[in-house]
């Protein structure tokens, strides 16, 4: 992989990731841009003990532009985009409309809340573009390009984790209008969070309690149980297993675990990184085959915090869709939105069976060894 860093017209950082042998000379960003966003805000919820980010400057962000005005396509002719290059493989850059802006996290004046909690935002938000082709999706990428995206995830996780005040790096993709995407070009995002995400805290709390009670590793034992049962395993490779969790919340939900315990993406071996791409492309193509149409989804990497309880974490990816039938979506109802009690419309074992059937037809796909 070749890595080339440069800056955009307003000072934001951009990094190109190209296949080996590519000799890139960064093209200058000739746009006249207003200053990049300088601030966001965090407020602490004392009831749930969670941080909430307030980023009112994002109201004016780009929203579903026509394909000939996409800001993620390469620059060409007189049209200048967020990517100054006329061609690229994979590229990451700081978001022009970030939820989190690099800052010092200093306290702000209170607004009558129970306890002083307002702070300036800290961290960073980046966009990771998977391909220059506006019409493509991740499922369309070949193994070589998927591996290049993996190398970009590793690179950005390593660099962002080293920033002052960053506590966790979260790589994710939203696909589909039903999910709420504002740009259709194939891309994901990377958040360098100034706190540990609530979901991660809950997982690590559970892992710590399980270790104290049983002496075992919660994530490893869960993976072993799924592999042994085989009922919900969708596909396997030498280094990864994809399965529908027994208590899946979403109509279509698959978790991808490496067979070896690692805390984060940089800890994967080259073989594990390459092997992931093969399995991930397989699972994404099964998603799209369910209804013979692109399935809206969220793809979320769960990595260990930068500084705390890394020994409890087990890197994995959670992939899920809100589509519960060809013509129906799962909308969060009162129990889910109001009380965080999920009610599943699809049995996890049925979802796993349908995903196995949607694959390339291997007779033993998804069977326990």
| Rounded-to-integer distance, Cα 279 and Cα 268, Å | 15
> So what's the pLDDT on residue 58?
76
Output the furthest CA–CA distance in the chain (Å, rounded).
Answer: 64
Which DSSP category does 253 fall into?
A: E
DSSP letter string over 306-336? SSS-TTT---EEEEEESEEETTEE----III
- Lookup: tokens for 165: 């005040």
Q: How much of the chain, in percent, has pLDDT values that exceed 70?
A: 97
Smallest CA-to-CA distance from 239 within 283, 278, 265 is with: 278
> So what's the pLDDT on residue 77?
85
> So what's the pLDDT on residue 327?
92
Confidence class for position 108, pLDDT limits 50, 70, 90: confident
Confidence class for position 149, pLDDT limits 50, 70, 90: very high
Residue 321 has pLDDT above 90, yes or no: yes
Residue scoring higher pLDDT (280 or 183): 280
> So what's the pLDDT on residue 115?
87
Residue 103 has pLDDT above 80, yes or no: no
Cβ(323)–Cβ(295) under 8 Å? yes
> So what's the pLDDT on residue 369?
28
For 253-276, write each residue's pLDDT tens digit. Answer: 999 999 999 999 999 999 999 999
Residue 229 has pLDDT above 90, yes or no: yes
- Quote the CATH superfamily of domain 2-195: HIT-like (3.30.428.10)
Please name every residue paired with 304 in a beta bridge, in sequence order, or none if there are none: none
Q: Is the dihedral of CA 132, 123, 280, 264 positive or negative?
A: positive
In 3-state terms, what secondary structure has residue 241? strand
Residue 361 has pLDDT above 60, yes or no: no
347, HSE (Cβ side, Cα atoms, 13 Å):
4
Residue spans of the domains in the chain: they are 2-195, 199-357
Please name every residue paired with 323 in a beta bridge, in sequence order, or none if there are none: 329
> So what's the pLDDT on residue 56?
78
For 76-97, write each residue's pLDDT tens digit. Answer: 988 999 999 999 999 999 999 8
> Of 58-62, 175-179, 202-206, 356-360, where does the model show the most confidence?
202-206
Residue scoring higher pLDDT (105 or 95): 95
Give me the catalytic one of 187, 239, 255, 302: 187
| Rounded-to-integer distance, Cα 160 and Cα 102, Å | 11
> So what's the pLDDT on residue 61?
73
> So what's the pLDDT on residue 255?
98
What does pTM read for this prediction? 0.94
**How far is residue 336 CA from its own chain's centroid?**
22
| Rounded-to-integer distance, Cα 12 and Cα 8, Å | 5
- Whether 187 sits among the annotated catalytic residues: the reply is yes
Task: Report, as an integer, the average pLDDT of 183-209.
Answer: 96
| Rounded-to-integer distance, Cα 241 and Cα 188, Å | 23
DSSP letter string over 229-249? H-SSEEEE-SSEEEE--TT--
What class has domain 199-357?
alpha beta
> So what's the pLDDT on residue 363?
37
CA dihedral of 278, 330, 125, 100, whole degrees rounded to 10: -160
> So what's the pLDDT on residue 62?
73
Task: Report, as an integer, the average pLDDT of 106-127.
Answer: 88
- Lookup: tokens for 129: 């573009």
Task: Report, as an integer, the average pLDDT of 187-205.
Answer: 97
The mean pLDDT of the chain is 92
> Nearest 5°: phi and psi at 190?
-135, 120
Do the domains 199-357 and 2-195 match in fold?
A: yes
Task: Report, as an integer, the average pLDDT of 213-227.
Answer: 98
For 294-318, write each residue's pLDDT tens digit. Answer: 999 999 999 999 999 999 999 999 9
């Amino acid at each position: 992989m070749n890595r080339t860093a440069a800056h955009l017209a307003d000072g934001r950082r951009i990094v190109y990731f190209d296949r080996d042998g590519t000799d890139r000379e960064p093209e200058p960003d000739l746009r006249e841009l207003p200053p990049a966003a300088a601030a966001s805000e965090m407020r602490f919820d004392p009831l749930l003990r969670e941080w909430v980010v307030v980023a009112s400057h994002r109201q004016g962000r780009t929203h579903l532009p026509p394909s000939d005005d996409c800001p993620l396509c390469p620059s060409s002719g007189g049209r200048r985009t967020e990517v100054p290059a006329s061609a690229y493989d994979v590229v990451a850059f700081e978001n022009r409309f970030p939820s989190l802006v690099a800052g010092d996290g200093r306290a702000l004046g209170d607004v009558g809340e129970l306890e002083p909690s307002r702070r300036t935002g800290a961290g960073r938000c980046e966009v990771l573009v998977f391909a220059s082709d506006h019409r493509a999706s991740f499922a369309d990428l070949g193994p070589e390009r998927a591996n290049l995206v993996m190398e970009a995830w590793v690179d950005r996780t390593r660099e962002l984790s080293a920033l002052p005040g960053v506590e966790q790096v979260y790589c994710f993709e939203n696909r589909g209008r039903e999910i709420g995407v504002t740009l259709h070009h194939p891309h994901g995002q990377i958040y360098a969070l100034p706190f540990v995400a609530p979901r991660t805290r809950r997982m690590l709390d559970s892992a710590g309690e399980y270790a104290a009670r049983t002496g075992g590793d919660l994530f490893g034992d869960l993976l072993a149980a799924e592999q042994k049962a085989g009922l919900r395993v969708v596909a396997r490779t030498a280094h990864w297993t994809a399965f529908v969790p027994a208590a899946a919340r979403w109509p279509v939900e698959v978790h991808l675990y490496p067979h070896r315990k690692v805390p984060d993406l940089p800890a994967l071996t080259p073989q594990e990184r390459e092997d992931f791409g093969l399995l991930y492309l397989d699972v994404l193509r099964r998603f799209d085959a369910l209804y013979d149409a692109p399935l809206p989804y969220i793809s979320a990497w769960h990595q260990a915090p930068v500084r705390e309880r890394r020994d409890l974490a087990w890197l994995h990816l959670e992939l899920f869709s809100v589509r519960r039938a060809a013509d129906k979506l799962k909308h969060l109802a009162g129990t889910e939105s109001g009380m965080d009690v999920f009610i599943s419309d699809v049995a996890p074992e049925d979802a796993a069976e349908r995903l196995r059937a949607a694959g390339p037809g291997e007779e033993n796909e998804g069977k326990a060894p």
